[in-house]
Amino acid sequence: MDKQTVLDLYFSTRPKTFKALQRLVMAASDAQNARGKKSMFGADKFQPACQKFRSALVELANAASVDGDCVTVHLDDSWSRYRGDNDIIELANSMLKQFKIAFPNWPDAYAFWDEFYIESENEE
């Protein structure tokens, strides 16, 4: 699928979800870049970046609830699974797969997400 098809099918009628995905990707990028860094006064930059990322994840779930189903078109049934068990991680993973097709220019953000996703899968 090309970028325009993904944008048309998944995001053109779901503006809140699209904006929340943008924020999630930017927060993931910030967290990836903050890893191992300290502020001028010695404070850890990674923890606040992770908090911002987690807030963006919750915002995505809220936006998806407002906008409605944006992940079942031609791919899978993750929206219905999310509605059943409220697994925000699986929902976000499905959305980010689609988002990555349209916007592949955030490799650090997607790398952070992949690590986060694997870690969350191992915790279960």
Residue in the structure block whose two tokens are 């699928």: 1
Tokens found for residue 60: 């995505």
CB 86 within 8 A of CB 64: no
pLDDT tens, residue by residue, 3-60: 777 677 767 778 898 899 999 999 999 999 999 888 889 889 999 999 999 999 999 9
pLDDT tens, residue by residue, 65-107: 887 765 444 445 555 555 555 578 888 888 898 889 889 999 9
pTM for the whole thing?
A: 0.82
**Per-domain residue ranges for the chain?**
3-123
Checking if the pLDDT of 124 tops 80, the result is no
Predicted confidence at residue 73, as pLDDT, reads 45
Query: Cβ–Cβ contacts within 10 Å for residue 110, how many?
Result: 20
Predicted confidence at residue 17, as pLDDT, reads 87
> Measured on CA atoms in the order 121, 17, 51, 96, is the torsion positive or negative?
positive
Predicted confidence at residue 78, as pLDDT, reads 52
Predicted confidence at residue 31, as pLDDT, reads 96
Query: From CA 25, how far away is CA 73, in angstroms rounded?
Result: 21
Residue in 23, 48, 21 with CA at minimum distance from that of residue 34: 48
